[in-house]
Amino acid sequence: MGLSAADKDWVKKENTTLKENITKELLGQVDELKATIVKLTQENTPLRERIIQHDIALDDLEQYGRRMAIRIEGIAWKEEETNVELETTVVKELGKHGVVLEPRDIIRLHRSSKPKEKDGVVTKQTIVKLARWRTREKFAGFNRRVRAAEQATGTAGPRVNNDLTKRRLMLLGEARAQIKSRLLRTFTEEQIKKGLKDNENVFAYANINSDLRIRARGRVLSFNSIPELDAAIAIAFPLPPIFMA
């Protein structure tokens, strides 16, 4: 025996009422969840910022501990090299470019990273910890002098870089990648490689104190985080008026 028309209407009405009640309850729960998410987001945003600032402060402290160390690229390497041989080679190669070191100037040194081969010469990065800040200051302008010597003689020389923390090294790499991407909108790879004029050039570097900088057409900009890097890039490469309207 089937349901009567009245029974069918009653079932339909009950189902509609049940559906409306469930929908209303679910919407209420969704609203509560949205409110909770907004509240948690508001609470977490300053916490995340504090964590970021804390990480930067720890990184600054670690970087300060590395202030007396340098990383040298381009020093010839051989199997079973002793520390005495390495020190002799480092002192000799640096001396060719105006940095005279005595054994007392070096606390310790060791090879780092994998060997690299170029033009038949195998090199391996060398980390050197220096004894005094005055000795560290001798390296100001070192790479610039080496590049000038390379252009004059055609012979490759070593490069000296700061012993940067992983965070700073990645940040510097990101800065250089962004700068190159923007320069390539105006210049070719070959033009950039040969070197741009000072009023055209933009480049990122770490100074002798391991502070990260962007030199943009003679202007020096500082950065030590992604937001600061973004701000510096915006200054170094301002949008044309048509895009700012």
**What's 5-73 look like in SS3?**
HHHHHHHHHHHHHHHHHHHHHHHHHHHHHHHHHHHHHHHHHHHHHHHHHHHHHHHHHHHHHCCCEEEEE
DSSP calls for 229-243: HHHHHHHHSPPPHHH
Q: For the segment 186-226, what is each residue's pLDDT rounded down to a tens digit?
A: 999 999 888 888 889 999 999 999 999 999 988 999 999 99
Q: How confident is the model at residue 66 (pLDDT cuts 50, 70, 90)?
A: very high
Q: Across the chain, what does the average pLDDT equal?
A: 89
- pLDDT for 180 equals 95
Of 203 and 103, the structure prediction assigns the larger pLDDT to 203
Q: For the segment 144-167, what is each residue's pLDDT rounded down to a tens digit?
A: 999 988 888 888 899 999 999 999
- pLDDT for 75 equals 92
- pLDDT for 201 equals 93
Q: Do residues 100 and 34 make contact, with C-beta atoms less than 8 angstroms apart?
A: no
Q: Identify which of 227, 97, 203, 202 has the alpha carbon closest to the alpha carbon of residue 150.
A: 97
